[in-house]
Amino acid sequence: MRIVLLGAPGSGKGTQAQRLAERTGIPQISTGDLLRAAVARGTELGIKAKAAMDEGRLVDDALVLGMIRERLAEPDTRAGFILDGFPRNLVQAAALDGLLAELKQPLDAVVQFEVDRAELVKRISGRRTCADCACVFNVLTSPPTGAAAICPRTGAPHRLIQRADDNEATVAERLRVYEEKTRPLIAFYQSRGLLRAIDAEGQVDAVTERLGVALGLAPRPAAAARKGAAAKRPPRRKPARPARRRRPAARAEKRRPAPKKVPARAARKKRAGGPRTRKPPARRRARR
Ligand code: AMP
């Protein structure tokens, strides 16, 4: 499966890409994560990318394309990949087309995440990332609780940090850049018959379900699906209950041994109440 997740900053691409990668074993390739790692390591690429990232602008196409070309050459991408945050403009989309044609690995689908602007701002302001395992949470809508509060890397509670570019001023610029440069990709992929749009608002689990349906994945195991749907489903499914209860009762009826088990006294009473003219059983008559 070779897919692109397309959506504005804060639309949940990263969270869903992580989940999809866990579910399918296919690697998530986030250009934002790769660039942040380069910045943190202080590499040449990181130094060049940092200013644009801090201001909410796109990093130079040549830098990003070089990074993607290298990443797609790694062996774990042979089974497929989930591109998250790439391509971001028409130049990158055309370059990706060319690269994938070279590799004879065309895209299977592009999923567009639809989220209202006010919701995007709310999500970005609540977004936090674990400094150790890079899991993404939202302290407003999906804070880490219970077992999920423990970092799988350290075994201690997650160390949540806010991304440097998740501040109000930069967010406004990133949303503007999305509208101007990235939104045209919707028509680009629509014209190639690859685009599938999903409603990416609501519970994270519900979005995961919608993404699975859009990609034609087999339904998740019952427990996970139940957990995901619980928020949207009406509290009870009344019609199913009586049907399920009646069945065991009917089986018990069948199994019950017939008249012999009627208590002797009740049976005598029943016989006494019956017609007196009734003939005695054939066996008795024969003995007489
Ligand atoms: P993201 O984590 O996807 O929101 O990306 C964070 C920042 O990294 C963006 O605001 C850009 O500055 C930069 N970036 C990520 N992906 C790309 C890309 N495909 N092209 C250019 N810049 C990118």
- What are the pLDDT digits (tens) for 185-198? 999 999 999 999 99
60: domain CATH number?
3.40.50.300
Find residue 4's DSSP bridge partners: 83, 110
Question: φ and ψ at 83, to 5 degrees?
Answer: -85, 125
Residue 262: per-residue pLDDT: 42
Tally of domains in the chain:
1
The answer to whether residue 136 is domain-embedded is no
Nearest to 228 by CA among 5, 10, 19: 19
Length of the chain: 288
Q: Is the CB of residue 59 below 6 angstroms from any atom belonging to ligand 1?
A: yes
Nearest to 68 by CA among 103, 24, 40: 103
Structure tokens at 72: 């797609």
- What are the pLDDT digits (tens) for 112-170? 999 999 999 888 988 898 999 988 888 887 788 888 899 999 999 999 999 888 888 88
Mutate to test the pocket of ligand 1, among 4, 28, 35 (most ligand atoms within 8 A of CB): 35
The answer to whether residue 158 is domain-embedded is no
Q: Is the CB of residue 88 below 6 angstroms from any atom belonging to ligand 1?
A: yes
The answer to whether residue 30 is domain-embedded is yes
The answer to whether residue 177 is domain-embedded is yes
- DSSP per-residue string spanning 210-277: HHHHHTTPPPPPHHHHHHHHTTTS-S--TTHHHHHHHHHHHHHHHHS--GGGS-HHHHHHHHHHS-TT
- What are the pLDDT digits (tens) for 84-105? 999 999 999 999 999 999 999 9
What's the predicted TM-score (pTM) here? 0.74
The answer to whether residue 6 is domain-embedded is yes
Q: Is the CB of residue 67 below 6 angstroms from any atom belonging to ligand 1?
A: no
CA dihedral of 249, 251, 257, 262, whole degrees rounded to 10: 10
Residue 246: per-residue pLDDT: 36
Residue 101, SS3 per DSSP:
helix
**Residue 82 and residue 111 in contact, taking contact as beta carbons nearer than 8 Å:** no
The answer to whether residue 174 is domain-embedded is yes
DSSP state of 3: E
How many Å lie between the centroid of ligand 1 and the Cα of residue 9?
9
The answer to whether residue 221 is domain-embedded is yes
The answer to whether residue 115 is domain-embedded is yes
How many Å lie between the centroid of ligand 1 and the Cα of residue 59?
7
Catalytic residue positions, numbered:
13, 88, 127, 163, 174
User: What is the residue range of 209's domain?
Assistant: 2-126+164-229
How many Å lie between the centroid of ligand 1 and the Cα of residue 53?
7
What is the average pLDDT across 211-224?
80
